[in-house]
Structure 1
């Protein structure tokens, strides 16, 4: 399943309000750690049917900041969130973002 990019707070609102589990990935296009984590995320998405969205933190800073404010979770990049019912059920960052970690989070 392909992910969508979120470029506005309105798009973020719509994504968060969706039903069921969904993944939100904050990505820095200039960071090698983020690139590695993004590849893990993409590998996961090639095998799983989960609604997913990406925020490019440099290009869409207001949206990235809104995530930190809304969920009261310090901004990091890369960073991934598992949302369900509009709430964060799991999140992690940097080298802890792996395909296996995402699979385990969805099972919990």
Structure 2
């Protein structure tokens, strides 16, 4: 198995470590108000992820791989299966239709852009700083 570990396992792990993003877990409804307030000073990004969806996993890898670490924003990560109540509250609070995967960019207390699925990988967050 040694050769396969070096080709598939260890190499892949190295790529993941290089692309580890500074995610903030989105785990409470109170955080939505914090995000709105913080967005008045700094761009806030919400990434909604479905752990049971292959497309969601693929898009997350593409987003992670293309993320520029000098982007000045806070990244919130929501696992939909763990927090369906928060996902519903996001839709209501920010007046967007629920999708997953979904990326929302929050500035000045509201969503200035949102997209889903493969289109997420085309987003340049620097355009919203």
Give me the TM-score of the superposition, normalised by structure 1: 0.86
CA spacing shift, 1:45–1:51, aligned 2, 3 Å: farther
> What residue in structure 2 maps to residue 83 of structure 1?
106
CA shift at 1:46, angstroms?
4.1
The correspondence for 1:20, drawn from 26, 36, 42, is 42
Is 2:85 aligned against 1:65?
no
Which residue of structure 2 aligns with residue 102 of structure 1? 123
- The alignment partner of 2:82 has SS state of coil
TM-score, normalised by the number of residues in structure 2: 0.73
User: Displacement of 1:17 after TM fit?
Assistant: 1.6
Larger radius of gyration between Structure 1 and Structure 2 = 2
* Bigger relative contact order (CA 8 A; separation at least 6): 1
For residues 75 and 25 of structure 2, the distance between their equivalents in structure 1, rounded to whole angstroms, comes to: 9
Matching residue within 35, 41, 53 for 2:57: 35
Check conservation: 2:43, 2:72, Cα contact below 8 A: no
Give the number of aligned pairs. 105
Q: Is the 8 A contact 1:2 1:45 kept in 2?
A: no
**Aligned alpha-carbon RMSD (Å):** 1.7
Unaligned residue ranges in structure 2 (runs of 5+): 1-20
